[in-house]
Chains A and B, each alone.
Chain A
């Protein structure tokens, strides 16, 4: 139960900026971001590690902020949807965000921060994901945008390839 242990101060990097919060060590990252730091891009969809609406990155890797204690991110670098574009050296939006716009993916939009963060983390590890890879994504989209998400991930993979080839000057 958070709050049973006394509050401590935790320092980490959030979207490129150093931050410090004082709170119980088992307070989940989602609430630290949303309620203490006012970063509302990551969404609550269940708090049970089942929907992935809360997905963010820690050192570039996707994680469920609703199920991770703040103590685990001490000294680490956290990126939320608000900071994703800045991680892309090309400037402007991250290719995943660009692809999402191109394919008109969102409906209500509530799941999409998590979907985009998951897709960006996937592409960072697997630059050319197959349909079988994409099938493994567990993020729920209750509006049913799965087909467009699949197309947008493939489009983002293309954009990333173009971006990295132009960045390397070839």
Chain B
């Protein structure tokens, strides 16, 4: 490992700081913008290539808890009984992942080519959150380059990056902020030094305008001309001093996503669109989750079908490879196969709920004399991720090599698993990361890539695997079903205790992510709590002064296919808590906004609540059956409040008609994509509360597609949403991708309670018993052929085609 940063010594101070952070409140340090110097490396190459060291990316809490009260602990609350700091207040999941990635952060490189274009192969996944764009903005600012002269691509799996090629926990920008700034700053320093030699001027006399270095006398030399001069034949350590973020010109301004021109013209390629060899492939799967193939009795008949090339039995099903997906689907439905019953074949939502209720939990505090106790229990259905594109991958496995293309958040773990599965050394496997068709956590798991590799090897053909939507819905991954018990103890106008017991089907933490969390834990000493409890404790915190707060997780190990779902535990856990917060306010006879402002712990929290109440017109009069609701959430060093107006007058089609969101991420890199993330989180929250969830019957969700898995559409989306991005409050960005969901869940549920007079406790709310005939398990449904629409004769066909 190369030596550490010049000042402060990085690895040491980081671990020390993180360890210290777990046992003490972060000391109040002057906030703002000290410019620290770091070390970078010029890598031996003919053009300028800069790599960065394990930087002084101190745990964000320690770095942000300045005068503005970033960590939520330094500002005394005006009322309420102060709660002790919880683990997520001092080290959160994002911090753990940053810590895990530190020893390999030095393998992040930025190069500047002879055309003056900066290149960065980003070791993160892009699923539309805007990471590529935000990182390009940071590089452009740090290098004084026009944005168009920065190229950001998705890096293929690089095993040497170990924990530093992982996308999750709203962590992409948080974790890249320091390494990318430092590498770019080092590159700029190197280019300026080369210009100084060439022009015979001190670097302090030089300025940079759009990638051109200008001398006081007006002589100009471009980065492209300087690239070779700034390069080094051998690797060389150089100092780097990133700019004060307050001097950035592009960071902080609204920049549209870079992929937009390709997306709106159809040129954007997702994995199954790539122009590489690969035959359309679909899989016939078991009638229950996790069932394994026992027999496939009509292989010859299936392989004789027109267009079918191979029908390959594998443990997870029968893969049908054809000339077109239409013919692969026909083949899948013609397969005659038997499967073993899966490990949850006897389970349904009802039996799982029973198991969750019966699981032992840590008892609540005994009732206090004179105190009142509010008790609420909540149920959450399992929820499929349902990315817009189904699970997909292209694989070309040959005798001596394998090449994979897939959307992947954990590509290194994918590469290792694929190498093992196809019997090749990891060095013979190339795993290319492709833009994802949505994810919401789904592509933390690389099952499509692994299956595609296994099919390709078995068939001896390159394959283009796409899951049928019905299989994606039934055999894909889901947020686990959960049961929540919350008890709030009130005395007078105070909350003496707030206790939350979560019982959940075990959330499977993907290979790659799980190992990174473990490695991060080892660096903090937090690991003693055990893996799941630690993960829970580093993501869940109660932002209110509610006296004695305990939030505890009990997992019930049922072998469903689970996964983080736009947060690991937060939307259900914090969403449920926001409902109880409203009920505590009601019990104390207080307005929900006033109550929150009184019991929140710091100014940044209160500021977003105040802002959202202001722009959302809190308290305006609305007809009966229509009501406002508010929710608050903080995580990833960021703060968010959501206000909605929910119209419940049409019981079949409740609708959030207006919404407002206020968000404080510390330092907003791209307010435009941040707004987009808030809109997405809001839409998730509306869907989760009102009507989106899975019904498991006999070990399989019955939902087969978008018809019964009711993610909202235009007719239930708010027509008007105001998103307020709070001005920069710290010198580094917090996370944003998952932030709005719990606040939106709370806001919509609270609006429902106020509009209908009934506090919702089972989600989704509109969840009648299955009132339709689900397509049977096994074959995939095939939609009858439709006639072409003619809206000129029947205007309804404009929409109902």
Contacts and interface: CB of A to CB of B under 8 A. Distances in A.
B306 A24 contact: yes
Contacts of A20: none
Contacts of B791: 61, 125
B667 interface: no
A72 B707 contact: no
B266 A82 contact: yes
A91 to B, nearest CB: 14
B390 A80 contact: no
Contacts of B689: none
Interface string B460-472: 0000001011100
Given A31-B324, A144-B682, A148-B679, A104 B672 contact: yes
Interface in A135-160: 135-150
Nearest to A94: B264
A19 interface: no
Interface residues on B, range: 35 or more
B306 A147 contact: no
B227 interface: no
Contacts of A128: none
A14 interface: no
Given A31-B326, A47-B783, A110-B388, A40 B260 contact: no
B577 interface: no
B265 interface: yes
Nearest to B708: A50
B325 A97 contact: no
Nearest to A122: B798
B261 A140 contact: no
Given A46-B469, A110-B389, A2 B326 contact: yes
Given A3-B306, A109-B128, A145-B679, A101 B705 contact: no
B128 A106 contact: yes
Interface string A115-139: 0100001100110000100111111
A151 B268 CA distance: 23
B328 to A, nearest CB: 9
Interface in B680-719: 680-684, 704-707, 711-715, 717-719
A64 B268 contact: no
A105 B676 CA distance: 8
B265 A48 contact: no
B29 interface: no
B705 A2 contact: no
B466 to A, nearest CB: 7
A106 B788 contact: no
A4 B387 CA distance: 33
B257 interface: yes
Contact of B325 (A35, A73, A76): A35
Interface stretch (B59-67, B199-207, B269-277, B598-606): B269-277
Contact of B718 (A28, A35, A67, A147): A147
Contacts of A105: 260
B268 A109 contact: yes
Contacts of B266: 39-42, 80-82, 113
A167 interface: no
B705 A50 contact: yes
Interface in B254-306: 254, 256-257, 259-270, 272-273, 275, 280, 305-306
B680 A50 contact: no
B259 to A, nearest CB: 6
B326 A143 contact: no
A148 B676 contact: yes
B389 A43 contact: yes
B363 interface: no
A125 B789 CA distance: 13
Contacts of B799: 136-138
Nearest to A137: B714
Interface residues of A, number: 85
Nearest to B683: A144
A61 to B, nearest CB: 6
B713 A35 contact: no
Contacts of B680: 107, 143-145
Nearest to B129: A107
A122 B714 CA distance: 14
A45 B473 CA distance: 12
Most interface-central of A7, A41, A72, A107 (chain B CB within 10 A): A107
Contacts of B683: 143-144, 146
A24 B267 CA distance: 28
Interface string B770-801: 00000000000111111111111001011111
A111 B711 CA distance: 14
Contact of A93 (B265, B706, B797): B265
B649 interface: no
Contacts of A137: 713-714, 799
B324 to A, nearest CB: 4
A24 B71 CA distance: 63
Contacts of B792: 61, 125
B679 A144 contact: yes
B323 interface: yes
Interface in A17-74: 23-24, 26-28, 30-32, 34-36, 38-51, 53, 58, 61-64, 66-69, 72-73
Interface string B405-443: 000000000000000000000000000000111111000
B721 interface: yes
B307 interface: yes
B714 A48 contact: no
A51 B706 contact: yes
Contacts of B325: 30-31, 34-35, 44
Given A63-B801, A107-B676, A142-B386, A101 B469 contact: no
A135 B714 contact: yes
B349 interface: no
A47 B329 contact: yes
Most buried by B among A80, A84, A108, A143: A108
A76 B721 CA distance: 41
B705 to A, nearest CB: 5
A86 to B, nearest CB: 11
B562 interface: no
A146 B676 CA distance: 10
A148 to B, nearest CB: 7
Given A106-B259, A125-B791, A142 B711 contact: yes
Given A61-B798, A150-B719, 4 more contacts: A4-B306, A61-B801, A82-B265, A144-B681
8 contacts: A31-B325, A31-B327, A47-B782, A64-B801, A82-B265, A106-B260, A108-B439, A147-B719
Interface of A: 1-4, 7, 23-24, 26-28, 30-32, 34-36, 38-51, 53, 58, 61-64, 66-69, 72-73, 76, 80-82, 84-85, 93, 97, 100-101, 104-113, 116, 121-122, 125-126, 131, 134-150
The 6 closest A-B pairs by CB, nearest first: A41-B266, A144-B683, A108-B128, A107-B128, A3-B306, A81-B266
